[in-house]
Amino acid sequence: MTREVLIRADGKVTYLTISPGLQKAVALTILAGIVWTTYSSVGMVVNERVIERKNNEVAAAREAYDNLMNGVGSAYDEFAKLVGNLQKSQNELLGLADSELGASRDPAQLAEITQRAAAARQSLGEADAAIRAKLAVFEGDLSSIAAQHQKLNDTIAQLQDELRLADRERSQLQAANAALSAALNDSGEQIASVTTEQERREERVRLLQQAVAALTHDRNALSDRRTQLSDEIKKLEQRLVAYQTSQQSVVENLAARTRTNVDEVLKTVAMTGLDVDKLLSRAGESMPGIGGPFVDLRQVADLNAAESAMLTVASLDDEVDRWDRLQFVLHTLPLAAPLDHFLLSSGFGSRRDPINGRLAVHEGLDFLSELGAPVMATAPGKVVFAGWKGDYGKMVEIDHGLGIHTRYGHLKSITVKVGDEVTYRQQIGALGNTGRSTGPHVHYEVRVDDKAFDPMNFLEAGRYVFKG
């Protein structure tokens, strides 16, 4: 079962949760440590006592061996002394016999000497028998000593084997103790890790509690703010209704004024003789695109005030879009003369050719002025030709967009090149008399889709625009 430990510190109560798995792991670790500690301690004590007993037995065996060797030495010393005494007695007897035999030849003395020699020989024989008996005993003692010596060697070898075994067991016990110590250290680290993890969890719980408290506070604040916003929205809706009413009136007025301006511009563009709808269509293609499926707002049921206002705004948007297109067209149309000061020497249309006197078609206007007078672009555009062009002499042609081009012929010099973007009233050359010309002037043409139009219509429309 899960256990919880209550820790009170600084007036706060902290719960330390210990899972069943962790409890079992800790209990098994502690139990294993106790068993291993007890086993190794008892084993080491028993092993030490066994080693001490064996060492005592080896010391006793060595002491018995030393005593035995000392006894053997003493026996050898005694035997050597006995043999020396025997030899000494024999030598004395032989010397005495020789001295007495040499000194006297009396048979009685010889018999006595012989008797004494026999007695001495008997004594030597007895001594020799006693010595041999002692030698036999000594040899038996030596055999016993050799057997005891072998037994002691066997005992010492057995004790040494037991000592080696005891040393091996002690080494094993020491290794087991080291492993147990390492296991106990690991267990301690695991317990410390679990404790640290529990502390981290408690810290996360504390942070979550703080976050919940902060969120609760924010939620209450948001609720209050939502109430305030609801009141403000109601006020704004009331104001919006008033604004929508006023806005609708303003938008209607703007739409009306825009329609008036659009009509004026349409009238101006129509003065040029161009197809207005075609120009507006091309202007729509050249301007930034917008689109989408058409849904007539007036067909939507249940229009409220806001939707009614949107209907009015949509109408205004249509008028403004048409106005923007017309402004784009006006910006493209060449509505000014190419010279600041000029006289018109020849108009547009049929005329008698000034060189051969025959009837011809004049596709532009001829402007007289002093030689070298600045010739300027009548509308912004891009230079598509700049150089000599047959009867035109030195000529510049500008593309103004929407299919509208202007040409400036018989120039004395040219100040632009093909590809240049020119602005309204920018100088493009100087008035001259090059090409098929009878005198200094500028031959000026307006062409739409490569068809010549009367430039005077554009000038009249320009006067109307600039006057307005």
Confidence (pLDDT) at 298: 52
Q: Which residue shows structure tokens 């002499």? A: 393
Confidence (pLDDT) at 301: 44
Confidence (pLDDT) at 29: 77
Whole-angstrom distance, CA of residue 376 vs CA of residue 340: 9
pLDDT bracket for residue 183 (50, 70, 90): confident
SS3 breakdown of the chain: % helix, strand, coil, rounded to 5?
65, 15, 20
Per-residue pLDDT, averaged over 52-78, amounts to: 74
The most confident of 39-43, 51-55, 149-153, 436-440, by mean pLDDT: 436-440
Confidence (pLDDT) at 296: 57
Least trusted range by pLDDT, from 14-18, 30-34, 267-271, 410-414: 14-18
Confidence (pLDDT) at 302: 46
pLDDT digits (tens, 9 = 90+) for 193-235: 767 888 888 898 899 989 989 989 989 999 889 988 988 898 8
**Greater model confidence, 69 or 315:** 69
Give me the domains of the chain, ranges plus CATH numbers. 3-207 (1.10.287.950), 249-288+296-332 (no CATH), 343-467 (2.70.70.10)
pLDDT digits (tens, 9 = 90+) for 351-370: 998 888 899 999 999 999 99
Each as own residue / partner, the long-range contacts of residues 279-283 (CB below 8 Å, 24 or more positions apart, any chain) are 279/329, 279/402, 280/322, 280/325, 280/326, 280/329, 282/402, 282/403, 283/325, 283/326, 283/328, 283/329, 283/332, 283/402
Confidence (pLDDT) at 79: 66
Confidence (pLDDT) at 199: 84
**Greater model confidence, 434 or 19:** 434
pLDDT digits (tens, 9 = 90+) for 125-160: 777 787 678 777 767 877 877 787 788 778 778 877
**Tokens representing 237?**
């809706």
Confidence (pLDDT) at 300: 47
Are 128 and 86 a contacting pair, CB within 8 Å?
yes
* DSSP code at position 297: G
Confidence (pLDDT) at 100: 55
pLDDT higher than threshold 80 for residue 255:
no
pLDDT higher than threshold 90 for residue 36:
no
Per-residue pLDDT, averaged over 406-419, amounts to: 98
Q: Nearest Cα to 68, choosing from 159, 133, 140, 146?
A: 146
**Tokens representing 412?**
């004395």
Confidence (pLDDT) at 72: 64
Angle, helix 305-332 to helix 107-270, in steps of 10 degrees: 80
Confidence (pLDDT) at 314: 59
Nearest 10 degrees: Cα torsion 148, 150, 156, 161: -140
pLDDT higher than threshold 90 for residue 241:
no
DSSP per-residue string spanning 340-391: SS-EEEE-SEEEE-TTT--EEEE-SEEEE--TT-EEE-SS-EEEEEEEE-GG
Q: Give the type of residue at 241.
A: V
**Tokens representing 208?**
């979550």
Angle, helix 276-286 to helix 107-270, in steps of 10 degrees: 170
pLDDT digits (tens, 9 = 90+) for 263-316: 777 888 888 888 888 888 887 765 555 455 555 545 544 455 555 656 555 556
Confidence (pLDDT) at 386: 98
Point out which residues pair with 446 in neighbouring strands. 406, 453
The three-point CA angle 449-453-457 to 5° equals 135
pLDDT bracket for residue 112 (50, 70, 90): confident
Percent of the chain with pLDDT over 70: 74
Q: Nearest Cα to 79, choosing from 15, 7, 137, 143?
A: 137
Q: Nearest Cα to 303, choosing from 248, 354, 372, 238?
A: 248
Mean pLDDT across the chain, nearest whole number?
79
**Greater model confidence, 59 or 356:** 356
Are 410 and 372 a contacting pair, CB within 8 Å?
no
279: enclosing H helix or E strand = helix 276-286
Nearest 10 degrees: Cα torsion 18, 24, 30, 36: -160
**Tokens representing 308?**
């009614």
